[in-house]
Amino acid sequence: MSGATSSGVDVFELGSEHEQVVFCNDRASGLRAIIALHSTALGPGLGGTRFFPYASTDDAIADVLNLSRGMSYKNALAGLDLGGGKAVIIGDPAELKTEALLRAYGRFVQSLNGRYFTACDVGTFSEDMDHIARECDYVTGRTVAHGGAGDSSVLTAYGTFQGMRAAAEHAWGEPTLAGRTVGIAGVGKVGRHLVRHLIEDGATVVVTDVHAPSVEAIRAQFPQVQAVASTEELVASELDVYAPCAMGGAISDEVLEVLRATIICGAANNQLAHPGIEKKIAERGILYAPDYCVNAGGVIQVADELEGFSFERAQQRATGIFDTTRRVLELASSDGVTTAEAADRLAERRMREVGRLRGIHLR
């Protein structure tokens, strides 16, 4: 069998940096999943499981390869002794998600014998991790009742807020969003927690979400929050900070044409729509806080579970995202490179220097 899919995507070519890609199929439960391990140089790969109705298998492959690579960089930059992995389950979770499917998936994760630790992502929740853990020892982000770290979006939002404070300091001299207008695209798992941090800091918050009940819930909790009908309307608004907190590819050429914000800093993964756009962001005079730098709070939270979870300890570690973001922004300025390149340099340096001591992870 070749490495190409029916439409011609060559997995070996597309995932040439990756150590391992596993296709999981359980016809009885309807499970179709892909697990990608980008690098285990720093330790076992840790990354969430995304349950999403991809239009095609090729789309799912592209997403899991991008996401797992991003986890290698995120975990490295966060100072964790963990590599990069990610998984996707193909299908609509509202229709396909069952205990049987999740437990079947858990057995596939177990078969990797600790090279991959899974956690929550889009379409999966702590309760799902409890089902997976009934068949698998390599699960994080379980419910607190089952000894887990619970909802990792709590510290994802907290870390993103710390990164935003560092970006504000770099742009305006003070590490606060007080008096600034922040536009948040996506107020689901992470965005809703980020709203609270910003309101408490004295910011004006404008939100949008394709899921109307999410917006209604935020406005019920914080009546001062403004809402607009679409992301297009949000990015064209008078903003100081734009915070993409939904799916990837949020920063496109079209968005940059109309965006008037001084800072881009959000929790979404893989925000840059294509290679080279980071240079266009810099040319526009916009300060981009690299997504995998600022949104690492969630992985810090679930990684802490591997030591016996302490929320206070995990939160203290997530507070360090402020200093990490500051270091990235300072390196970009001193070396005359984009902030995205500066973040990559710091992550790659750690993978290279520490990773050479470890090699490929074997349990």
Q: Which residue numbers are catalytic?
A: 86
The candidate with the shortest Cα–Cα distance to 94, out of 153, 53, 35, is 53
| Cβ atoms 231, 254 nearer than 8 A | no
The 226-227 sheet, strands edge to edge: 226-227, 204-208, 181-185, 241-244, 263-264, 287-288
Measured between alpha carbons, how far is 65 from 17 in angstroms, rounded to an integer? 9
Task: Give the CA distances from residue 221 to residues 193, 226, 227, 242, in Å, rounded to whole numbers and listed in that order.
Answer: 11, 12, 13, 21
Measured between alpha carbons, how far is 325 from 309 in angstroms, rounded to an integer? 25
The candidate with the shortest Cα–Cα distance to 163, out of 287, 295, 346, 251, is 295
**Burial readout 100-136 (b: 16 or more C-beta within 10 A, e: otherwise):** ebbbbbbebbbebeebbbbbbbbbbbbebbbbbbebb
| Cβ atoms 130, 159 nearer than 8 A | no
